[in-house]
Structure formats: structure tokens, C-alpha cells
Amino acid sequence: YGIDLLSYMPAANEAIKRYAQYSDYITVEYVDILADPTFSKNYPNESLAQGQIIISSEQTGRYKILNAFDLFYINTDDYSVWLNAEKKITSAIMVTALEDLVKVQYTTGHNENNVTGIIGVLEQNAYESSEINLMKEDIADDTDLIIIMGPVVDFTEEELAKLDAFLDNNAV
């Protein structure tokens, strides 16, 4: 967009520091991954880069990586920049720290509408999502919510029976 986000980083940095200032449960640590390449070994499945923010929980073992770009909202109409750090960081803390995330499955196989937007919002708010094709698999026992986004193709009797059992809490 031609916007220098680095000039906005001090405001984001102050927001980050406030979390540690107001909570004994949160610590902020700055790591130069170029000077300390062993740090990246803690995240073997990730390609870490300078400027990323890692929010992690020792209790749950979960972590979320935010990029500097995630901390800002850029209005593409007038290219104004708004700090979005508090929302993104609080969401990442919730996702990593909560013991039990709400488990959501969304159906596939019936030409459903795209669920990317709603799944993104749910995942930002401590929901764990996965897709399910009821023609091929059963609903997981730990599923809390099923999303069916405007299917075009009808469900089979077998699929409907799986959904009925889920709605009846598997007769529990």
C-alpha cells in the first residue's frame, strides 16, 4: 500500500508492554532470532522471521504467531492506519491459554458456501475448527458445534442420521 508500518510500531510495542504491566501471568520477551538461532528450534514447523510476535502458553503448549501487519488495520479507501494490536493479541492469548477450545466442524461434500470468513472469526475467538465430510466420516465425540453453510446438494439419510445423533448428544 506504500505505507511505512514501521513508523506505527512504537504504538504497537506500547500495547504489548501493557499486557505484562497489568498481568502477572504475562511476560514479554524480545528475541533476536538472527543473534539467537537456537530460539527457532522451539518452533520446528514454523519459518520464523524478524518482527513476528509469538504468543505461547506453557500450560497448553499452544502458540500463535502474529506478523507486524496483523497488528494494524489499513483502510484501503483512504489508506488510514488503525492500531488493531489489542484485539489481535487478546485473541491470540485466548487461543493459546484456554485449556479447552470450543471444537467446531464444518461440513463439506455438498457444494457448501465458503466458510473461510466465519472460520477465521471463530478461530480468532478460541474456537478450533476442522472440516468433516459426513459421507466418509463420523462427527468427532468432542465436537461442540457443526456448521452447515448453505449446501446445494442434499444430505443422504446416513448423513442426516449422524447429524440427528449429534443433535441428540448421541443419546447421552
The H-assigned helical ranges of 23-101 are: 85-97
Residue 84 banded pLDDT, cuts 50, 70, 90 = confident
Please give the Cα distance from 27 to 5 (Å, whole number).
24
Mean pLDDT, residues 14-20: 91
Which pLDDT score is estimated for 170? Answer: 63
Residue 9 pLDDT: 82
Is residue 172 scored above 70 in pLDDT? no
Joined grid coordinates for residue 56: 505461547
| pTM reported for the whole predicted model | 0.70
pLDDT at 74 over 90: no
Q: Give the E-state strand segments of the chain in sequence order.
A: 53-56, 63-66, 72-74, 81-83, 102-107, 127-132, 145-147
Closest to 54 (Cα-Cα) out of 41, 66, 38, 39: 66
The amino acid sitting at 143 is T
Query: What pLDDT does 169 receive?
Result: 84
Q: pLDDT per residue over 89-101, tens digit each?
A: 998 999 899 888 8
Query: Residue 2 pLDDT more than 80?
Result: no
Q: What is the pLDDT of residues 119-144, one digit of tens each?
A: 989 988 889 999 999 999 999 999 99
DSSP state letter for 70: G
150 neighbors 112 (Cβ within 8 angstroms): yes
CA angle 68, 73, 78 (to 5 degrees): 125
